[in-house]
């Protein structure tokens, strides 16, 4: 049984959806800050991805399965003795008119995107509360803040995360646990590239999407990760219940 970390020891973080895009950039950022990381992903390739890094433990599983959250917390406690940070990042996308959306698709999006945040937050809270504090950062989306066509289901899931973030922040503030969210605009990851691949000219569509962001481009995953790392860090010690758009000005319009 390892000795629990003192405040001077590396922070311990759990990151979901760690094998790609924003999650992967967040893991890399945390490692650059000398944190220990439990990287969670449903994609088995995550194990190989982090195999060479002694600061990373990998848990392969679906975030919507309660057992995955329990395994991640147990892995963190067994190996590192504490949990300081949880980044709820794993999600699935659906780009489809509501009228064409099946019940199966609705359930799949809400199950991964909302139930996953619920289960992982619930799993870390006893440990963070016993430690006297911690930081949960949820990754929502501009789609959870404003209405975007063909994203009603995805947007509903991300809007639920916005409200969950604020409610939980208030609920657990007295225990020293902070709960915040980042709301990215479009980010250059497989999350957007894969659905666009079916279109006749994906690159032209991406340029059109980029032009809807006042900064005139889409984000790099590391730009979202930087905001996550800030909210997770002691530099954000008086920030809780906030949703930070990281969207190139999209929601300022």
Binding site for ligand NAD (CB under 6 A): 16-17, 19-23, 41-43, 62-64, 89-92, 112, 139, 141, 184, 186-187, 189-192, 221
Task: Considering the complex, state which of residue 6 and residue 102 has its C-beta at the smaller distance from ligand NAD.
Answer: 102
Q: In whole angstroms, how close is the CB of 79 to ligand NAD at the nearest point?
A: 20
Task: Considering the complex, state which of residue 187 and residue 232 has its C-beta at the smaller distance from ligand NAD.
Answer: 187
111 contact partners, CB below 8 Å, separation of at least 6: 64
Token duo for residue 146: 């404003």
Q: Is the dihedral of CA 214, 220, 226, 231 positive or negative?
A: positive
Q: In whole angstroms, how close is the CB of 45 to ligand NAD at the nearest point?
A: 9
Q: In whole angstroms, how close is the CB of 89 to ligand NAD at the nearest point?
A: 5
Q: In whole angstroms, how close is the CB of 210 to ligand NAD at the nearest point?
A: 11
Cα–Cα distance list, 69 to 46, 64, 91, 111, 184 (Å): 16, 8, 15, 14, 24
Output the CA torsion 78→81→82→88 (10° steps): -30
Q: Is residue 154 flagged as an active site residue?
A: yes
Strands in 36-41's sheet, in edge-to-edge order, are 56-60, 36-41, 12-16, 85-88, 134-139, 177-184, 243-246
Can you spell out the DSSP letters for 152-200? HHHHHHHHHHHHHHHHHHHHHGGGTEEEEEEEE--BSSHHHHHHHTTSS
Q: Which residue is nearest to ligand NAD (CB)?
A: 21
Task: Considering the complex, state which of residue 20 and residue 135 has its C-beta at the smaller distance from ligand NAD.
Answer: 20
Task: Considering the complex, state which of residue 131 and residue 206 has its C-beta at the smaller distance from ligand NAD.
Answer: 206
Task: Considering the complex, state which of residue 19 and residue 131 has its C-beta at the smaller distance from ligand NAD.
Answer: 19
Q: In whole angstroms, how close is the CB of 65 to ligand NAD at the nearest point?
A: 8
Catalytic residue among 93, 120, 154, 191: 154
Q: Is 140 helix (H, G, I), strand (E, B) or coil?
A: coil
What residues are labeled active site?
154
């Amino acid at each position: 049984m390892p000795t629990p970390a003192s405040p001077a020891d590396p922070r311990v973080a759990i990151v979901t959806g760690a094998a790609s895009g924003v999650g992967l950039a967040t893991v890399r950022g945390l490692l650059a800050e000398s944190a220990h990381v439990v990287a969670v992903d449903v994609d088995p390739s995550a194990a190989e991805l982090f195999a060479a890094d002694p600061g990373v433990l990998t848990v392969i599983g679906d975030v919507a399965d309660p057992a995955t959250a329990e395994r991640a917390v147990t892995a963190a406690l067994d190996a590192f003795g504490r949990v300081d940070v949880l980044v709820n990042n794993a999600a699935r996308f659906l780009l489809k008119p509501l009228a064409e959306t099946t019940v199966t698709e609705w359930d799949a999006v809400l199950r991964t995107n909302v139930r996953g945040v619920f289960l992982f937050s619930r799993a870390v809270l006893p440990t963070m509360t016993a430690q006297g504090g911690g930081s949960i950062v949820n990754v929502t989306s501009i789609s959870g803040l404003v209405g975007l066509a063909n994203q009603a289901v995805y947007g509903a899931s991300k809007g639920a995360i916005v409200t969950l973030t604020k409610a939980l922040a208030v609920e657990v503030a007295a225990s020293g646990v902070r709960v915040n969210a980042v709301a990215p605009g479009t980010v250059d990851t497989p999350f957007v590239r894969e659905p666009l691949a079916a279109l006749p000219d994906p690159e032209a569509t991406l340029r059109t999407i980029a032009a809807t962001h006042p900064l005139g481009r889409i984000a790099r995953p590391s730009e979202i990760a930087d905001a996550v790392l800030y909210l997770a860090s002691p530099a954000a010690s008086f920030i809780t219940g906030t949703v930070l758009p990281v969207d190139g000005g999209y929601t300022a319009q």
